[in-house]
A and B are shown apart, each in its own frame.
Chain A
Amino acid sequence: MSVLVNKHSRILVQGFTGSEGTFHAGQMIEYGTTVVGGVTPGKGGQRHLDRPVFNSVYDAVKQTGADVSIIFVPPPFAADAIMEAAEAGIGLIVAITEGIPTKDMIMVKNYLSSRKARLIGPNCPGIITAGEAKVGIMPGFIFKKGPVGIVSKSGTLTYEAVDQVTKAGLGQTTAIGIGGDPIIGTTTKEAVELLMNDPETEGIIMIGEIGGGMEAEAARWIKANGTKPVIGFIAGQTAPAGRRMGHAGAIVGGAEDTAAAKMKILRECGITVADSPADIGRLMAEALGVLVR
């Protein structure tokens, strides 16, 4: 099963012929992902990485039957690319681009609210279903098929958790990088819900950080609806208030969005919280050990 993407997913790459798009599309293909083509306006009809290039997402969908799109388009044009994909009937849009203006994302979010497309990101590492499809920029070799689903705002911290899970003798179903911007398409709660409903996922790791209220929202949902063990980690326990920590959304704005406040809410909702990021894999293994044996 797994969620969002699998070996049957037909992936389109927007910003295909650019340097980022070229490199990562190549890596995705190497992982075994079904990349059916790409879009670069003005380069339609060419071939790139042995796949067709189209002028528009509409053309690409018509010709290839693509149902997932990954976006490497630069920030000034990324909002347009997301909306074009939604309009063309793409069901799942993964926006890797970092640095999209907030005003553009307000418009995108509103645009998508009346369409059926799901957006993951922007400013995210993408999604991977271990052994089946990599729609993102994460290093494929650290993943192994297994029972753990992962939801995270961060890239390298996700890899850290994945690596610990793999080294603990477990593996992953799907890892979803939801992104670190103030406005993102799929929230922590929505991603957790997908994994909670996935029969192959036995345990969930939820990695958050300072800023915003998404982890608290997810925790309350888990308390009411959770059926699987959840391990939580919140980065930024030592981050000072009012300073932006790399991610545009990682800024402590008030008493409610500090790491300590979020960790407290997670614990109150029955989630096992790792104080140290070095313990994420071990805690997941312990939780599943109890469940399985």
Chain B
Amino acid sequence: MNIHEYQGKAILKSYGVSIQEGIVAETPEQAVEAAKELQKQTGTGWWVVKAQIHAGGRGKGKIVGTEQRGVALAKNLDDVYNISKALLGNVLVTIQTGEAGKQVNKIYVAQDVYYPGESEPKEYYMSVLLDRAQGRNTIIYSTEGGMNIEDVAHNTPELIFKEEIDPATGLQAFQARKIAFNLGVTGEAFKQMVKFITSLYNAYDGIDSAMFEINPVLKTSDNKIIAVDAKVSLDENALYRHADYAALRDISEEDPTEVEAGEHNLNYVKLDGNVGCMVNGAGLAMATMDIIKLSGGEPANFLDVGGTANAARVEQAFRIILKDKNVKAILVNIFGGIVRCDRVAQGIVDAYNNIGEINIPIIVRLQGTNAVEAKKIIDESGLKVHSAIQLAEAAAKVKEVLA
């Protein structure tokens, strides 16, 4: 589960990680109040106004139809007001949002941390994540902060370092020192960096995070080490241990149809294609999407009805798929194991009758437990449904209806 920068930073701070301080706001007036409050707390003279959306690349991204960037510097309170007004309620398009962009509902008014001082500010990159091959957490870090890390990895892979964490011991002090040495920080900044790394890993471990990406980590001109941005993702499987984090979910960041599907325990991901699908099991669902593509269509969704597909769930799944007006045909692919195909078939017939006008062709492929009885139910229902038992037959029928 992804959370916003302001939420991630609050969590980091609670673990003793130094952050660029800020206050969240939902209106330009609140933003100005936040700026005044922040000036009182931190003494900052300028502010940075940052759009809060679940996507990176905000600094380079623009509000649709304007030149307004998703992160902007405000040198006075009028700037704070105007930037906030330009961001709030409007759609921000970044390299990660796709063309549709994301609506900005909240902004984060943050202190300016690039102030001049005894030394030059310097940006670094740091992330903590699972190395799947090793089954261990890893800290990835680089001297090249503030840039797209994929570009750094591509152009200068020698500037990216990894530090693997032994699950039995957790992060050790020598590892934090090694990272700080490799980043080339010295003196007070070295001490601050060791502390930053240690508390960052503690936070990652403590909250059951799935991923931390802090880009940039900033050494300020007065040798503080702080997280200027924070991309924090939580392990959904571990949310039961952190009941309070459920409230951090921002449903407005998600596709409304996906949210509705989730409420019915359907695992649905909306895609851009023209053929909907309903499948039991994640692997078979992905394979079914692939079949659609190979048959000349494009998958309109991923939808796993799960291991207990009954009539009610099947009907709900149809309703979800039909919300997408791009869908020109639906392929139902159920491999009945524990699930009985005849029950699914009855669910399809019921859904058809309950929903009423379904004007697009439906191809139903039911295989496994009671598949023959299921085909009989479909064939005798009088519905305009194409039924198949073999996967190859279903693929051929998709091709046929799209022709």
Contact = CB atoms under 8 A, between A and B. Distances in A.
A and B from one complex: yes
Interface of A: 23, 75-76, 99-107, 109-110, 137-139, 141-142, 152-160, 163-164, 180, 182-183, 207, 209-213, 217, 233, 235-240, 243-250, 254, 259, 275-279
A18 to B, nearest CB: 15
Nearest to B210: A102
Nearest to B166: A110
Contacts of A105: 135
Give 10 nearest A-B pairs by CB, closest first.
A154-B283, A246-B282, A156-B281, A139-B337, A157-B283, A101-B238, A235-B286, A156-B284, A277-B287, A278-B391
A139 B241 contact: no
Nearest to A187: B133
A247 B282 contact: yes
20 contacts: A76-B241, A100-B237, A101-B235, A101-B241, A102-B237, A103-B205, A137-B337, A137-B338, A141-B369, A156-B284, A156-B335, A235-B290, A236-B286, A237-B290, A238-B293, A238-B298, A244-B269, A246-B304, A249-B132, A276-B290
A210 B286 contact: yes
Contacts of A141: 369
A250 to B, nearest CB: 6
Q: What is the interface of chain B mostly: helix, strand, loop, or mixed?
A: mixed
Contacts of B279: 156
Contact of B291 (A102, A152, A246, A276): A276
A233 B287 CA distance: 9
Contacts of B369: 139, 141
B391 A160 contact: yes
A212 B52 CA distance: 30
Given A104-B238, A154-B282, A277-B291, 11 more contacts: A76-B240, A106-B136, A139-B336, A156-B280, A157-B281, A183-B130, A238-B290, A243-B302, A247-B282, A249-B132, A276-B395
B237 to A, nearest CB: 5
Contacts, number: 174
B287 A103 contact: no
B294 A275 contact: yes
A105 B210 CA distance: 13
Contacts of A102: 130, 208, 210, 235, 237-238
Nearest to A275: B294
Given A107-B167, A246-B302, A278 B132 contact: no
Given A246-B282, A275-B294, A238 B289 contact: yes
Nearest to A237: B290
Given A159-B368, A277-B291, A278-B291, A235 B283 contact: yes
B286 A209 contact: yes
Contacts of B166: 110
Contacts of A243: 269, 302
B35 interface: no
B337 A159 contact: yes
Nearest to B272: A240
Contact of B132 (A139, A153, A182, A236): A182
B198 to A, nearest CB: 18
Contacts of A277: 284, 287-288, 290-291, 391
B28 interface: no
A259 B293 CA distance: 14
B337 A138 contact: yes
Interface residues of B, number: 56
Given A142-B368, A153-B283, A156-B335, A183 B135 contact: yes
B299 A163 contact: no
Contacts of A183: 130, 132, 135
A231 to B, nearest CB: 14
Contacts of A276: 290-291, 294, 392, 395
A144 B81 CA distance: 71
B267 A246 contact: yes
A209 B293 contact: no
Contact of B285 (A107, A109, A153, A246): A246
Contact of B167 (A106, A138, A153, A245): A106
Contact of B284 (A23, A160, A275): A160
A249 B323 CA distance: 28
Contacts of A103: 205, 208, 235, 238
Contact of B133 (A156, A159, A213, A247): A213
B148 interface: no
Max count, chain B CB within 10 A of own CB: residue among A106, A212, A248: A106
B338 A139 contact: yes
Nearest to B304: A246
Contacts of A278: 291, 390-392, 394-395
Nearest to A152: B283
Nearest to A208: B283
Contact of A160 (B137, B210, B267, B335): B335
Contacts of B302: 239, 243, 245-246
A83 B238 CA distance: 19
B127 interface: no
A106 B336 CA distance: 33
B292 interface: yes
Contacts of A244: 269
Nearest to A140: B337
B283 A247 contact: yes
B283 A209 contact: yes
Contacts of B133: 212-213, 217
Contacts of A100: 237
Contact of A154 (B210, B240, B284, B391): B284
A100 B130 CA distance: 15
